[in-house]
Structure formats: C-alpha cells, structure tokens
Amino acid sequence: MTLNPAVQSLLVMMEQAPKIDFDNHSAPEARAIFDNPMNFGEPIAMAKVENLKIDLLGRTLDARFYLPEGAGETPGLTVYFHGGGWVIGTLDTHDGTCRALAQKSGAAVLSIAYRLAPEHRYPAAADDCFEATVWAAANAEQLGIDGSKVAVAGDSAGGNLAAAVAIMARDAGAPALAHQLLIYPVTDVDFDRASYVANGAGEYFLSTVGMKWFWSHYLGDTPADQASLAVVLGQADLSGLASATLITAQYDPLRDEGDAYAERLKAAGVEVDWACAPGMIHGFFGLYQVVPDAWEWVDRGASNIKKAFA
C-alpha cells in the first residue's frame, strides 16, 4: 500500500519543523528540539489527571495518572512507557497517547518518566519501568485500581521497555501482568534488515542514523550481546509471558524486528495479536488527531487490554 494520505500530508508539514542533527547534536540539544509536543487539538477529557511521584530505592520518578470517564470504582491499569530512543520523550510528548488508551480501554493509565540515556545508561530505564510497575501493583489501593489487572504498554523504545518489563515480571514471578501492548517496538540492533534498507533514509521520520545514535546512547560500552533486556529479540526463552498485542508500521525501519519478535512470541506459545499497519510510519499511533486511520489501531490495542482485564 502507498503512504496513507494523511501521513503524506503530515510528512510535508514536518519538513518545516526543526530536526535533530545526529552527527552534531547532544542529547540535551535533541531534547530541546523534540520534547516540545505539537498540539493538534483539544486533549481528550479525563475524569482525573494527576501528576505523581514514585519513590524507588535511591531515586524518585515522575509519573502521570489518567482515569477515564466511566471507569468504575476499581479499573484495571495500563503502565505506559514513552518512546524516544531511551534518550528523548517526556510525559507531555505522550500525553495524547495515554489519554486515548485510557478512553478506549476504559482502564486507568500510569505514564512513567523513566531515567534517560546517556546520563543513565542501560539497564537504568528497564529497571525504572519494572520497579514502577511493581510499585503500581503494590499501591493499587492508593491509585484506586485493581492490582490484579495490570498491563504494560509502550511505543518504540517504550515498546522495548514494555517487552523487557514483561520478561522481568515473568522471571521475578510478579507482578502477574494481564497483557503487553507493544507499538512498533525496538527489539534488535540489526540495521541490515530489509525494513531498514527500504525505510531508513529518513524520509519516513525515523532513520537508521537516528537509531544508531539512540542505541549508542543507551548501551554505551555495554556490548549488545550482553544487553538481553534491550535486545529482547535475543532472549533465549520467551515462553510464559503475558499475552501481547504487537503493532508494526509498513514504512517503519523497525517493522521487521517487530514482526520477528511477534513470530518469536507466537513460537513460544504466547497469545499474540500481531499486525502491520499499512501505509503508516513510525510514530503514527499517537497522531490520531491528524491521521484519522490511526484510531483503528488505538482501538485494537485498547480493546485487547479491555479483553485481558475482563
């Protein structure tokens, strides 16, 4: 399928926006460019939106709690990890995504501001996300949610972190996750895949150069083969994980590694709803206000979370 017309129009508009120069910009400079979310309309109304502090051992994380209208007394909870290559991204850049997931799923959402690289390299982000999920389940009464109904979700690097948390939760024996929603997740460091060759030049937003920059900032001196909670496709055993929704995008450099992870999950006996969104690019999921066809994919992920919580 050719590019979705709304995506094509968005790419033309984005040509005028400032871009990260991966050869010259530092992480703080990249954040100054990227972490100013564009407003495409009024935010989806929630019954409650609250900024929280999560106290973990030796650190405190910012978080944002979303309760949708009509959620009931003790809804399930989706813990959300934002994308941005483990380097950029904030609670604000993914505010719209969290509101949409909350509204469509009928469940609460807790968005986590995990520590970013390169100031905090692997496995800091994975540790933060796992421990924040443990905290959420343990503090269900404080949050007003059902601690037995917890899912994880994320896009891009956040999808990578959601996958890592699912693995960590399985290995730790808790919390028992109901579902994992992986939206065009990073799963591997193979830049020679066909989807990188076809889509990695930068014309579809995400580039191969950019992904190499993100990986180098996250891993630092840690070899990829010693970073199993980052290169999740290399995990020897994926059995026993929570059911999954895995969404990739046709014009995304990450498409093939996401598809490969879905295949690995299915082969390991994990229940997986997996599909590639035709005509879409990396990042489309949160752009539903300007890419109307993105709504069906938000609905798909949210419906599977709702089903897992039923």
Structure tokens at 64: 């944002």
| pTM for this model (two decimals) | 0.98
Q: How many separate domains does the chain show?
A: 1
The per-residue pLDDT for 243 is: 98
The most distant pair of C-alpha atoms in the chain lies apart, rounded to whole Å, by 50
Domain residues for the domain of 25 are 5-309
- pLDDT above 70 covers a percentage of the chain that reads 100
Q: Is 239 a catalytic residue?
A: no
> What does the block give as tokens for 33?
């460019």
Backbone angles phi and psi of 301, in degrees to 5:
-65, -45
Indicate the Cα dihedral angle 30, 260, 275, 93, nearest 10°. -20
- Residue 229: which CATH number? 3.40.50.1820
Q: Which long-range contacts (CB under 8 A, 24 or more apart) does 225-231 make?
A: 227/122, 227/123, 229/122, 229/123, 229/126, 229/164, 229/167, 229/168, 230/122, 230/123, 230/126, 230/160, 230/164, 231/187, 231/188, 231/189
Banded pLDDT at 37 (limits 50, 70, 90): confident
User: Is-contact 63 112, C-beta < 8 A?
Assistant: yes
To the query of whether residue 156 is one of the catalytic residues in this protein, the response is: yes
- Spatial distance between the Cα atoms of 67 and 248, rounded to a whole number of angstroms: 27
pLDDT (tens digit, 9 = 90+) per residue, 83-137?
Answer: 999 999 999 999 999 999 999 999 999 999 999 999 999 999 999 999 999 999 9
Euclidean distance between CA atoms 31 and 17, whole angstroms? 14
Tokens of 109: 């959402």
Quote the pLDDT of residue 41.
86
Tell me if 177 sits within 8 A of 77, measured CB to CB.
no
Which pLDDT does position 301 carry in this prediction?
98
pLDDT bin (cut points 50, 70, 90) of residue 297 is very high
Task: For residue 148, give both structure tokens.
Answer: 């037995």
Catalytic entry in 156, 195, 207, 243:
156
Instruction: Give the other-Cβ count within 10 Å of 292's Cβ.
Output: 11
Please calculate the CA angle 90-93-99 and round it to the nearest 5 degrees: 110
Catalytic residue among 155, 252, 256, 259: 252
Q: Is the dihedral of CA 124, 192, 153, 272 positive or negative?
A: negative
| Residue 179: active-site member | no
